[in-house]
């Protein structure tokens, strides 16, 4: 690994992460002066990493390998393929020395069918026009029983976005606007996937316009981010 390193880590001890890999139960990482030393408590052995290897390990403990490779490629101005090759070698060495484990990939719930999307869009259209916006939000929140949410997954979030948008575009009975799309997308992300999504209502004063969309993690759902950036967020519903 031959990258130009410009960052140091504060001295600290890492015992676990939340990414695709985790340390073995008897392993801790000591960070000092930008480098990591892995201590296997049961075996009483130290293993040292260089600065780039340390950065890779810290990212792999908090992200998946693809996100790790992209982040390092962006930071150090190298190709993603080069980083992936280096990361694979590092992971192989760490696993061979029994220092880390790969976590099983989470199985996300199945996406709703287009029939389900049509039913939800119909309910959204009717409830907004008969109950009003505030009462509709209050009613739909009653379905959202979960208080423990998962870290949003890019692939799942984008799949919900595409499903809702396509379902609304092809809906044959009623005209579906941003409010219906946002309400349905928000509901699916929170009740089916248990992601911490927010329904956002924005306004544009000149000329006056209102718009609704959903934010989940760093992603904009049910509309293009470029469209939503033209509006000032006036209300958020978590």
The pLDDT profile of the chain, 238 residues, written as one tens digit per residue, is 544 334 433 434 444 444 567 788 888 888 877 788 888 777 777 788 888 888 888 888 877 777 888 888 888 888 888 888 888 888 888 888 888 887 665 556 788 998 999 999 999 999 999 999 999 999 999 888 766 778 788 889 999 999 999 999 998 888 899 999 999 999 999 998 889 899 999 998 888 889 999 999 889 999 999 999 999 999 999 8
* Chain mean position to CA 178: 23
User: Is 4 within the bounds of a domain?
Assistant: no
Of 82, 102, 122, the domain-final residue: 102
User: Is 108 within the bounds of a domain?
Assistant: no
Same domain flag for 123 and 96: no
User: Is 107 within the bounds of a domain?
Assistant: no
Radius of gyration of the chain (CA): 23
Beta bridge partners of 102: 21
Same domain flag for 130 and 226: yes
Same domain flag for 67 and 131: no
Domain around 35: 12-102
User: Is 231 within the bounds of a domain?
Assistant: yes
Residue 18's pLDDT is what? 46
Q: What total of structural domains would you count in the chain?
A: 2
Same domain flag for 88 and 128: no
Q: What is the pTM of this model?
A: 0.58
List the one residue out of 207, 218, 214 whose CA is nearest residue 233: 214
Same domain flag for 226 and 126: yes
Same domain flag for 70 and 164: no
Same domain flag for 219 and 126: yes
Pairing of strands 100-102, 21-23: antiparallel
Residue 223's pLDDT is what? 93
The set of residues, in sequence order, having a beta carbon less than 8 Å from that of 161 and lying 6+ positions away, is 185, 219, 221, 222
User: Is 3 within the bounds of a domain?
Assistant: no
Same domain flag for 54 and 169: no
User: Is 208 within the bounds of a domain?
Assistant: yes
User: Is 5 within the bounds of a domain?
Assistant: no
Q: Residue 65 in contact with residue 20, Cβ under 8 Å? A: yes
Same domain flag for 119 and 76: no
Same domain flag for 94 and 119: no
Same domain flag for 164 and 87: no
- How far apart (Å, rounded) are the C-alpha atoms in residues 66 and 124? 37
Angle, helix 65-76 to helix 51-60, in steps of 10 degrees: 140
**Length of the chain in residues, anyone?**
238
Same domain flag for 118 and 98: no
């Amino acid at each position: 690994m031959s990258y130009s390193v410009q960052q140091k880590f504060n001295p600290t001890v890492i015992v676990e992460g939340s990414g695709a890999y985790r340390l073995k139960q008897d392993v801790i990482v000591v960070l000092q002066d930008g480098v990591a030393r892995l201590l296997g408590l049961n075996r009483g052995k130290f293993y040292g990493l260089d600065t780039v290897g340390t950065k890779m390990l810290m990212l792999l403990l908090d992200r998946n390998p693809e996100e790790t490779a992209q982040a390092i490629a962006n930071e150090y101005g190298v190709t993603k393929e080069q980083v992936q090759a280096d990361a694979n070698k590092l992971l192989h060495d760490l696993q061979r020395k029994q220092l880390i484990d790969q976590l099983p990939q989470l199985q996300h719930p199945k996406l709703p069918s287009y029939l389900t999307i049509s039913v939800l869009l119909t309910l959204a259209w009717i409830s907004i026009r008969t109950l009003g916006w505030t009462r509709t939000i209050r009613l739909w929140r009653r379905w959202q029983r979960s208080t423990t949410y998962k870290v949003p997954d890019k692939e799942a979030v984008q799949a919900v976005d595409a499903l809702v948008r396509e379902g609304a575009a092809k809906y044959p009975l009623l005209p579906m606007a941003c409010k219906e799309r946002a309400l349905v997308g928000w509901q699916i992300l929170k009740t089916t996937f248990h992601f911490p999504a927010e329904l956002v209502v924005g306004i544009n004063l000149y000329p006056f316009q209102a718009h609704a969309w959903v934010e989940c993690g760093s992603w904009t759902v049910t509309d293009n981010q470029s469209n939503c950036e033209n509006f000032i967020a006036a209300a958020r519903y978590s």
